[in-house]
Amino acid sequence: MDHFLYRDGLLHAEDVAIPEIAAAVGTPFYVYSAATLTRHYQLFTDALSPLPHLVCFAIKSLSNVAVLKLLGDLGAGMDVVSIGEYLRARAAGVPGERIVFSGVGKTRAEIRAALEGGIRQFNVESEPEMRAISEAAVSLGKIAPITVRVNPDVDAKTHAKIATGKSENKFGIPIARARAVYAEAAKLPGLKIVGIDVHIGSQLTDLAPFEAAFTKVAELTAQLRADGHEISRLDLGGGLGIPYERSNEAPPLPVEYGQMIQRTLGHLGCEIEIEPGRLISGNAGILVSSVIWVKEGEGRDFLILDAAMNDLVRPAMYEAHHDIIPVVEAAPGTENHPIDVVGPVCETGDTFAKQRNLPALAPDDLVAFRSAGAYGAVMASEYNTRPLVPEVLVKGDQFAVIRERPTFDEILARDKVPAWL
């Protein structure tokens, strides 16, 4: 249940009809449902409720400050991968004690800024980074809480671009080297070891790779404790997948994921941290677009929309599927026909779907891309000088623009022509 449903033949976001938002904001735009975000966060906290835990929302999936405030006010922690995301979390009122800093390339400046602002932990990804955190902590007179992100060498069985837990990926420290790295961490000044971190990839639709990784983490916890380290937190990363193609996908539910965590790690007495992004934000958002033209091609027709790959890059980048539905519900018995759904950007990569079965649509008709809340607006660009797509949040019968579409004057004002030209 995601609160994007037809009512009286019109797609609604909670209690607001989509055409009402389209009339106020113009297309294309993203719209998020507060009730869906809340519900998804709650599913995770409920699933982990038998254990001490913190659900840290992966900001990179959907980073609008209004969304972060909504989740932060519910008690969520945040997982950030840059100081920019850290600043977003803080702007949303989330205290440093609930922010974990992940990412394979934290700079010295980012490390210092997070230490100064307050941070729950750094998830360390390499030895040079660990030494830099130690130096920064010493020079600031602070203690930096750390976990080491281990790479468990398991195949997440997901798209190659978002698999992170195989030894050939750039992420984490090979689990076989973990004991040596923890031994070095224990000797470095300014660091406090608090636990272990693992994140094996995104859009996982099977629990088995998670279970394989978490089993290795359980073994490592015992070894590290025997070596004399205090392991009190286990950060298990994010990655639980969502059903993009509703008709034929059923990924595991958060409750099943929670049960598996209890089974594999519950006996260790650790606080569990998880970093879900997509499962909280993915189905909480849609991208609404209007039809510009319907074009007859040679042997196939094209539905040309005013949204493009710069607004939603997932199909071009990850061969991702998004369900596309008309905002005005097709009458029962309406026939569907295959059509290529494309944007106006000048490359063939700007194709959302090939030969998708859709009812006949005409210029100015509205369509919605489902499951577009995660890795949608955050990955948008202004390619082809198309203004950055706006974002809208709905709660009950209220809606608000939470990121405005920039004007062309604003876009052009960012370019500077040097005086010597």
Ligand X SMILES: *Cc1c(COP(=O)(O)O)cnc(C)c1O
Catalytic positions, please?
Answer: 346
- Which of 202, 221, 290, 371 touches ligand X (CB under 6 A)? 202
Q: What is the DSSP string of 257-301?
A: HHHHHHHHHGGG-PEEEE---HHHHGGGEEEEEEEEEEEE-SSSE
**With respect to ligand X, which residue has the nearer C-beta, 85 or 275?**
275
**With respect to ligand X, which residue has the nearer C-beta, 18 or 80?**
80
Q: What is the DSSP string of 207-253?
A: SHHHHHHHHHHHHHHHHHHHTT----EEE----B---SSTTT--PPP
Binding status of residue 254 toward ligand X by CB under 6 A: no
Instruction: Write the interaction track for ligand X spanning residues 65-104; mark x where CB under 6 A is met and - where it is not.
Output: --------------x----------------------x--
Query: Do the annotations mark residue 382 as ligand-binding?
Result: no
Query: Do the annotations mark residue 405 as ligand-binding?
Result: no
Question: Are the beta carbons of 173 and 167 closer than 8 angstroms?
Answer: no
Question: Are the beta carbons of 238 and 58 closer than 8 angstroms?
Answer: yes
Instruction: Write the interaction track for ligand X spanning residues 22-61; mark x where CB under 6 A is met and - where it is not.
Output: ------------------------------------x-xx
Write down the residue that tokens 């920039």 correspond to: 406
CA distances from 210 to 13, 197, 332, 404 (A): 33, 13, 42, 38
User: Could you tell me the end-to-end alpha-carbon distance of the chain, in angstroms, rounded to an integer?
Assistant: 57
Site size toward ligand X (CB under 6 A) is 17
Query: Do the annotations mark residue 149 as ligand-binding?
Result: no
Query: Do the annotations mark residue 75 as ligand-binding?
Result: no
Distance CA 242, CA 158 (A): 12
Distance CA 393, CA 284 (A): 10
Query: Do the annotations mark residue 182 as ligand-binding?
Result: no
Q: How far is the CB of 313 from ligand X (least distance, A)?
A: 15
Choices 5-13, 198-206, 344-352, 402-410 (CB under 6 A): range interacting with ligand X: 198-206
Choices 66-74, 188-196, 237-245, 398-406 (CB under 6 A): range interacting with ligand X: 237-245
- Which of 77, 145, 165, 277 touches ligand X (CB under 6 A)? 277
Query: Do the annotations mark residue 6 as ligand-binding?
Result: no
Output the six-digit token pair for 135.
């130096």
3-state helix, strand, coil in the chain (%, to 5): 35, 25, 40
Residues that bind ligand X (CB under 6 A): 58, 60-61, 79, 102, 199, 202-203, 237-239, 275-279, 374
Binding residues: 239, 275-278, 314, 318, 347, 375
Binding residues for pyridoxal 5'-phosphate: 239, 275-278, 375
Binding residues for substrate: 278, 314, 318, 347, 375
